Structure 1
Amino acid sequence: MPSNSTSSAFHTLADFQAHCRAHFSELSAQYQQSVRYLMDHPQEVPISSMRTIAGRAKVQPATLVRLAQHLGFDGWQSLRALFVDDFRGAHQPYASRAETVVRKRGSSRLLDDMVQAQHQNLETLRVEALEGLANAAEMLGDAQNVHVAGFRACFPVAFSFHYLYRLFRKSVHLVRGDAGALEMELRAFDRQDAVLAISFAPYSQEVLRVVEAARAAGCRVVALTDSSVSPLALQADCTVLFSVDSPSFFPSITAGVAAVEALVEQLLAREGKGAVKALEAAEGQLHSMGAYVPARRR
C-alpha cells in the first residue's frame, strides 16, 4: 500500500475504511492485524488509549504509530482523529432512533437487545475504567469540598454519587442550578475543591459552564463522560469513560451509574474506619428520624 504524503487523502473515516479494504492484501501481517481491529471496532478508537487498542489488537503500540505513518498520517493521533470526527457526527436525533424502536414493536428481541447492550457497556467499563477510577478517587478524596454536576439525563448519575458519598462525607455538594441560580452555586468553588462533571453527547451547556468555572477557580476536575475528546475530558485533570450504547431511542446511563457506585466504593475504602463510623452514624440518624419503614417483628 503506497504511503500518502499527507493525511488529507482521507477526509472521512469511510474514505480510510474503503482504502484499507482495497489495499488490505498489500499490508504486512502486523498491519493487517491492526487494521482488522480498527475496522471491526471503530467505536472503541475514540474512547480508548493507543495502548489499550494495541493490546486488544494483539500488536505493539509502536505498530499503530508506524501504521499511521505508513498511511500518510503524522502519527497515531492524526489517524485517531478520523474516528473521533466520525464518532461525533454519528449522534442520531432521539426521534430518528425512536422510529427504529417503533418499527420493532412486539419483537421478542427488544429486551434481549437491551440487556446485551447494557452487559457490553458494563464490560467496557470494567476493562477501561480501573486506572481512571483510582485517579478520580485520589483527587476527590484529597479535596476540601467535592462538587458534582450532571444535568438532564446525567442528573440521576450525579444524584447517585452525591447521595452515596454524602452518607459518610458531609462536604459533598450537588450542583443543581435550580431557579436559574447556577451562577450562585459556582461562586462556592475554591482552589482546594474538586469537581466531578458528568455528561455525554450531546453535551449540556450547563455542565461546560461548571467545568469552566471550576478551572477558573483552580479546582481539580474529574470528567465522567463518553469520550476522551469530549469537551469535559479536554479540560479535565482526570477522565473516567463510560459507554452509553443502547438499542433504544435514548443513550444508556447504566454504566455511568455503575461507575459512580464503584467510585464511591473506592472512596469509602480509601477513607477506612473513619468513613465506616460516619456511615454508621448517618444510618442511625436516618432510622431515628423515620426515614425508613420499620421492619416488622416476626
Structure 2
Amino acid sequence: MSDVTAKELPPQDFDALRAAILERKAELPKRLTQVAAYALDHPDEIAFGTAASIAVSADVQPSTLVRFAQHFGFDGFSGLQLLFRARLRERTSSYEERLLTLEQNGAALAESTTIFNGFISAAHRSIDAIAAAVEPDAFERAVTLLAKAETIYLIAKRRSYPISSYMAYAFGKLRVKCQLVGTSAGIDDDLLAMATPRDAAFAVSFSPYASESAAQARMLSSRGIPVVSLTDSAFSPLAECSKEWFEVVEADHAGFRSLSASMAFAMALTVSIAEKRRRQ
C-alpha cells in the first residue's frame, strides 16, 4: 500500500477534529495533549496566530504544533490552521448573514413555520445527544454532592447565564438555598469569599469559555469547595477542576444555537436536588 493510500485523512471541519481529539485524548503524548487543550480552549488564537506566537502561548515548541497537525493527518500546521479559520468564519457570521442563509436554504422569512421546525429539529438532536452522553451514576453523584451543600453557588456568564439564572429562580421556589454569581454590583469575588467546604458550586461555560467563570470555579475548587459543571469539552477549563462534569453540545440551526439540552439538564438537576433534600 502506498504512503498516500495509507495516510490518514485529516478531519474536514472543526467538529470532526474535536471529536478525533477527544477520542484519542488518553493516547496523546504530554506535549500533544497540551496543544490539544490549548487548541480547543483558544480556537480563535489558533486561527489567526503565527506558529511562533501560538507556541509561546501554549508553552510548547513550534515543532510540536507541526507534530500535532501531522498526528491528525494534516501535512503541516498551516493545513490545520485553515480548519480553525473556517470555523471562525462560520461562528462569527452576522445575524443578517444567518437570516440570509435561512432564506437561501428555502426558509424565507415569511415562512416562519419552516424556521420553527428547524429549531425544533435542532432541539431534538441536542436533547437526544445529551440523553445518550449523561451517565446515570455520574448524574446521581452530582445530585448527591449538591443536595448536601448548605449553599449552592451558581456560576455562569454570557450565553450560559440564562441557565444559572433560571436555576436560581427554581431553587428559590423549591426552598433550596443558592447564590447566583453574576451581580450588577460587581461583588462576585466577595460573594464567593463567603463559600466554605460545606457549600458547593455549579458552573456552566461553553466555548469560547468565559475566563472569569473558569477562574472562579478553580478558586473554589482550590479551597476544597466541590464543583459540578456543565460544559462542552473534556478540555474545558471547568472539566479539570470539577468533581463531576457533564458534556453538552447544542445542535445549531443556520448558525443559531439554543439552550434546549442545557436547560433540560439544568432543570432535571435542580428538581433532583430538591427531591433528594426533601427525602433526607
TMscore range, shorter length? 0.5 to 0.7
On the 8 A contact 2:152/2:200 being kept in 1, the answer is yes
Select 1:127's aligned residue among 124, 132, 152.
132
What letter matches 1:95 in structure 2?
S
The separation in 2 between residues aligned to 1:86 and 1:217, in whole angstroms, is 24
Q: Are 2:184 and 1:178 aligned?
A: yes
Q: What is the CA-CA distance between 1:87 and the residue it aligns to?
A: 10
The separation in 1 between residues aligned to 2:42 and 2:179, in whole angstroms, is 33
Aligned residue in 2 for 1:115: 120
What letter matches 2:172 in structure 1?
R
The separation in 2 between residues aligned to 1:256 and 1:221, in whole angstroms, is 17
Aligned residue in 1 for 2:19: 45
On the 8 A contact 2:251/2:257 being kept in 1, the answer is yes
On the 8 A contact 2:18/2:40 being kept in 1, the answer is no
1:43 to 1:160, Cα distance in 2 relative to 1, 3 A: farther
Q: What is the CA-CA distance between 1:249 and the residue it aligns to?
A: 4.0
Aligned residue in 2 for 1:99: 97
What whole-Å deviation, never above 9, does each CA across 1:198-257 have from its counterpart, x for those lacking one? 111111122123212212322101111111211111221110222222114443211111
In structure 1, list runs of 5 or more residues that go unmatched: 4-8, 19-38, 51-63, 275-298
Q: What is the CA-CA distance between 1:163 and the residue it aligns to?
A: 1.6
In structure 2, list runs of 5 or more residues that go unmatched: 44-83
The separation in 1 between residues aligned to 2:183 and 2:254, in whole angstroms, is 29
Cα RMSD, aligned residues only: 3.6
Aligned residue in 2 for 1:243: 249
Under a length normalisation based on structure 2, what TM-score does the superposition of the two structures give?
A: 0.66
The separation in 2 between residues aligned to 1:249 and 1:209, in whole angstroms, is 29
On the 8 A contact 1:161/1:261 being kept in 2, the answer is yes
SS at match of 1:243: coil
What whole-Å deviation, never above 9, does each CA across 1:175-204 have from its counterpart, x for those lacking one? 123222222112112122111001111111
Aligned residue in 2 for 1:226: 232
The separation in 2 between residues aligned to 1:47 and 1:177, in whole angstroms, is 36
Paired positions, count? 222
Under a length normalisation based on structure 1, what TM-score does the superposition of the two structures give?
A: 0.62
SS at match of 2:234: coil
Q: What is the CA-CA distance between 1:273 and the residue it aligns to?
A: 4.4
Bigger Cα Rg? 1
SS at match of 1:169: coil
What letter matches 2:119 in structure 1?
M
1:130 to 1:162, Cα distance in 2 relative to 1, 3 A: farther
1:101 to 1:135, Cα distance in 2 relative to 1, 3 A: farther
The separation in 1 between residues aligned to 2:20 and 2:169, in whole angstroms, is 31
Map 1:141-290 → 2, pairs under 5 A:
141-273=147-279
Q: What is the CA-CA distance between 1:46 and the residue it aligns to?
A: 6.8
Q: What is the CA-CA distance between 1:258 and the residue it aligns to?
A: 0.5
On the 8 A contact 1:194/1:221 being kept in 2, the answer is yes
Q: What is the CA-CA distance between 1:172 and the residue it aligns to?
A: 1.2
State the percentage of identical aligned residues: 21
What letter matches 1:110 in structure 2?
I
1:273 to 1:86, Cα distance in 2 relative to 1, 3 A: closer
Q: What is the CA-CA distance between 1:2 and the residue it aligns to?
A: 8.7
1:265 to 1:250, Cα distance in 2 relative to 1, 3 A: same
